[in-house]
Structure 1
Amino acid sequence: MNTIIESLKWRYACKKFDRTKKVSNAKIEVLSEAFNLTATSFGLQPIKMLILQDKELQHQLMTYSFNQQQISTASHVLIICIEDYFTQEKIDNYFDLEKKIRGTSEEILGKYRKQLKDIFANKSTIEKQESAINQAYIALGNLMTVCALERIDACPMEGFNAQKFDEILELKKQNLKSVLILPIGYRADDDFMSTLKKVRKPMEDTVIKM
């Protein structure tokens, strides 16, 4: 079994995927579960993940990703989205779900429910979206680690035209905005990046012990 450190040393930002190799449904389910289990602020999960495997759409979206071929050669493209508008109803839904799963009474939850609603009532739409984007990065990091453990290649990407992605994928209809993308698959034999040594600062330059 691969250790976590061995897996993290194995991973790199894959620049070219093998078009003939597909990530299995079983592994897609693992990644989906990992995404759903990612920690979020207050447990509210203001993020969603779209799993794209439509090759025509992947090719079309490559145009709006600075023509980076990872988009079209990947087995799947994971698109992490935030909710465009986060409403008070979302908070109620969370607490109702907690009552259903844990059996916690409203007597216990009521004060916290109100407190959370007050916190979000004082936030602007931009502040709510910025908070959700920060949590999207947590999910991205989690997915990348799980990909490494599962020996799935991946390439985290910010460089894409989110407005065009949203338009083509009709995300606005689902109250979503794309913020990060993660093409996944298996590295091509001729991806020159796969043979390069990993470049990292010495540990003492990045980790401070007190």
Structure 2
Amino acid sequence: MTSVSPSLLSPDIPTHSQVSSKPLKLGIMASGSGSNFEAVAEAIQNGQLNAEIQVLIYNNPDAYAAVRADKWNIKAVLINHRDYKHREELDKQIVQTLHQHGVEWVIMAGWMRLVTQVLIDAFPQKIINIHPSLLPSFKGVGAIEQAIEAQVKITGCTVHLVSLEMDSGKILMQAAVPVLPDDTPETLHNRIQIQEHRILPAAIAIAVSNEQ
């Protein structure tokens, strides 16, 4: 596990450009605003991450992530989970789409669906998720609300490899965020998100370097 403060993320954290000369082919999955998707795109643009985003998959027709993808001239594919009776059927379509676009690593950047063995088997140890808590604390939905209700003094965010168990798998990187006395879910979320945008690209680089 790598745990860092924001001030240590650069230049101490290795970038993918330092560990490989071949651009990494990423597929990103998002359900909402897509701010972490955009953070990865910006990291690629500024040279922190030697990668290419092959496709964005989103499951919510109203997801703003699709608008961000259009701005970056990245193909966005809607795979609406409501069109599938079983999670396995949904994941089969996701895998097919990812393979069609030559994806090597999958980044779940605000993907609000549980994955099945279908997706995990298609990309073994190559699926990365970001979660707004210091795992293993506060798994699942409402992690920020859980932290406030528990009256903890510190929470944060975690980037980890995906396993079948929700919000589990090997931790790649974490960043701590203090919980202030007057925090609301919105104010705490905003501060956590700043750190998510910092550590997600670096954690992708770490995961790739560990795999090589």
Pair in the same fold by TM > 0.5: no
Point out which structure has higher relative CO (alpha carbons under 8 A, 6+ apart). 1
The alignment's TM-score, normalised by the length of structure 2, stands at 0.30
The alignment's TM-score, normalised by the length of structure 1, stands at 0.30
Larger radius of gyration: 1
Pick the structure with more helix per residue. 1
Pick the structure with more strand per residue. 2
